Amino acid sequence: MISPELVVCADADQLAQRAAAIIGQAAAASIAQRGRFTFVLTGGSSPKQTYERLAVRAVDPAIDWSRTYLFVGDERFVPYDDERSNYGMARRELIEPAGIAGDRVFPMPTDRATPADGARAYAQTLQQFFDMPGGGPMPVFDLVLLGLGDDGHCASLFPHAPALQVNDTSVTWSPPGTLPPPVDRVTLTYPALNAARQVLFIVPGANKAEAVRDIWQNDAPPIERPAAGVRPQSGRLTWLVDKDAARLLAAR
Ligand code: 6PG
């Protein structure tokens, strides 16, 4: 694994600017090398400023949305028009404003009978998209965007959750974690996250500081701080934190 990189940004706005630039660079490189950019979105509030920048093309190099395919890293098991939907948020903040065509966007299905059914369906979608006959190895996304929960979760991989132990498929489901909203989830698994060519964490805010310290300074185990388990086998791992989120780190 390439050494993980921790970048401390002055504030949330500079973090969003840096994140948009990294995503733009990943898109340009992926399209140049493979003719497409496969980009996994995160939910929550942290990405909104980044999505806004991407949507208005306030990024250099500009992203070629016609060669970009969007996925989601996790989803609340609610209808897409529910205010808690991660896809619903991405549609409002990025997909519609950027004019991204629907056939390039792959939301997690939340209309199945159970979240487990939704997870199976999404794993099949990924197998087809990445042309992995018979289940094959894991999908290799070009860039996975992740936020960090105050408890150190990422995607919907919550502390002590059974989903942390799933290593034979790319997508699983999880009951609610301890943080709101208290709804079942569908989530990418560690093997899917760790197969990515690049993982980018965006972590603004003082409420993340304890989890950042535990992961970056106290070597917290993934069972306690699940984001610690995101270690791409051969991909790049970059954490963008703002000064508030970095405030408990020893002087670097
Ligand atoms: C979710 C998200 C989740 C999020 C973190 C951080 O479905 O809730 O995908 O993993 O990234 O909880 O959330 P904030 O960005 O709102 O702090």
- Nearest-angstrom CA–CA distance, 137 and 112: 25
What atom of ligand 1 comes closest to residue 205's alpha carbon? 17
pLDDT beyond 70 at 73: yes
pLDDT at res. 1: 62
- Percent of the chain at pLDDT above 90? 92
| Helix, strand, coil percentages in the chain from 3-state DSSP, rounded to 5 | 35, 20, 45
pLDDT beyond 90 at 243: yes
In a domain, 91, yes or no: yes
In a domain, 248, yes or no: no
Q: What is the band of 137 on the pLDDT scale with cuts at 50, 70, 90?
A: confident
Expressed in angstroms and rounded, the spacing between residue 237 Cα and the centre of ligand 1 is 18
The 10 Å Cβ neighbour count of residue 141 is 27
Instruction: Report the nearest-CA residue for atom 9 of ligand 1.
Output: 43
* Residue 57 vs residue 233, higher pLDDT: 233
What atom of ligand 1 comes closest to residue 146's alpha carbon? 11
In a domain, 249, yes or no: no
| CATH of residue 99 | 3.40.50.1360
Query: Taking residues 77-90, what's their average pLDDT?
Result: 97
In a domain, 247, yes or no: no
pLDDT tens, residue by residue, 33-58 = 999 999 999 999 999 999 999 998 77
Expressed in angstroms and rounded, the spacing between residue 182 Cα and the centre of ligand 1 is 13
What atom of ligand 1 comes closest to residue 47's alpha carbon? 15
In a domain, 191, yes or no: yes
Instruction: Report the nearest-CA residue for atom 5 of ligand 1.
Output: 149
Which range marks the domain in which residue 150 is found?
A: 5-242
pTM listed for this prediction: 0.97
In a domain, 89, yes or no: yes
In a domain, 250, yes or no: no
Residues with CB under 6 A from ligand 1: 42-46, 74, 76, 86, 147-149, 153-156
pLDDT at res. 193: 98
The count of structural domains within the chain is 1
In a domain, 177, yes or no: yes
